[in-house]
Amino acid sequence: MTATTAPGTTDTAAVRRAIASTARPPRPGPLATALTFGWRGMLKIKHVPEQLMDVTITPVLFVLMFTYLFGGALAGSTSAYLQYVLPGILVMSVVFTTVYSGVALNTDLTKGVVDRFRSLPIWRPAPLLGALLGDSVRYVVAGTVILVLGVVLGYRPGGGVAGALLALGLVVVFSFGLSWVYSALGLVLRSPSAVLNGGFMVLFPLTFLSNVFVDPATLPGPLQAFVEVNPISVLATASRSLMAGDPDGTAIAVSLAVAAALTAVFLPVTTRLYRSR
């Protein structure tokens, strides 16, 4: 305050000089912001490692339970059944994980975290995209656990390491597209438990009415027709073909097209819901 300034008033120029002594940092771009929110998801796992149970313990239980409970009855031996079922369990375990994208988003919404994000001068969809990018890391972890356990138990992919990695990449891409569906569901429903129950209510019939566990040729005619067009079945077929070293181009293309369609439809829907909630 200068000597000529009246008591109780502020020299505006002096205040501006005080708070603007350094250059204003550049506003972060959309990609940088999205990656920051993706890193936020990783930090949540660091502080609450129990969140990894669904991508570490659950896949192990799936592989052991289905292989050793049903292998002898369905394929004559557990080793023969493991060669068929492991790519299917890879699909099932990673796809199941997408439900938790909606659960986490709904949790942030009900706790008021989303309102804080809206007050930041950032690209509006960045928290959504960043959260799903962070979840993609969880998909990779779940798939890696299944592949490593399968090799330990005796699974040998005919396509080698490259085929297994391509199959994992395809499943992750498909799951990223599917996660937009559950993100929209997380913004519509009122509680995390409702999102969890609603998500699995859809995924369970799609997964078990597929070729994940059995060859569709053994099923009744009408059920076989449904299984053959089920997107989960198509994804499982594509994953098996890649891991076997004999890629099925049609199944791979359809899986990628479904992932792209889900993203194209539900990304704008989720963004609109996110702005309005």
| 174 inside domain | yes
If one compares 136 and 50, the residue with the highest pLDDT of the two is 136
Structure confidence at residue 17 (pLDDT):
67
| 16 inside domain | no
* pLDDT tens per residue across span 9-44: 556 777 666 666 666 667 777 778 888 888 887 777
The arithmetic mean of pLDDT across residues 41-50, rounded, is 73
| 262 inside domain | yes
* pLDDT tens per residue across span 142-168: 999 999 999 999 999 999 999 999 999
CB 135 within 8 A of CB 100: yes
| 22 inside domain | no
Least confident of 44-58, 68-82, 125-139, 228-242: 44-58
Output the average pLDDT for the chain.
86
| 127 inside domain | yes
The arithmetic mean of pLDDT across residues 247-265, rounded, is 96
| 72 inside domain | yes
Reported pTM? 0.83
| 9 inside domain | no
Which pLDDT band holds residue 183 (cuts at 50, 70, 90)? very high
Range of the domain at 59: 28-276
| Domains identified in the chain, total number | 1
| 60 inside domain | yes
Whole-angstrom Cα distance, residue 8 to residue 246? Answer: 81
* DSSP element (H, E) containing 130: helix 126-153
Structure confidence at residue 188 (pLDDT):
92
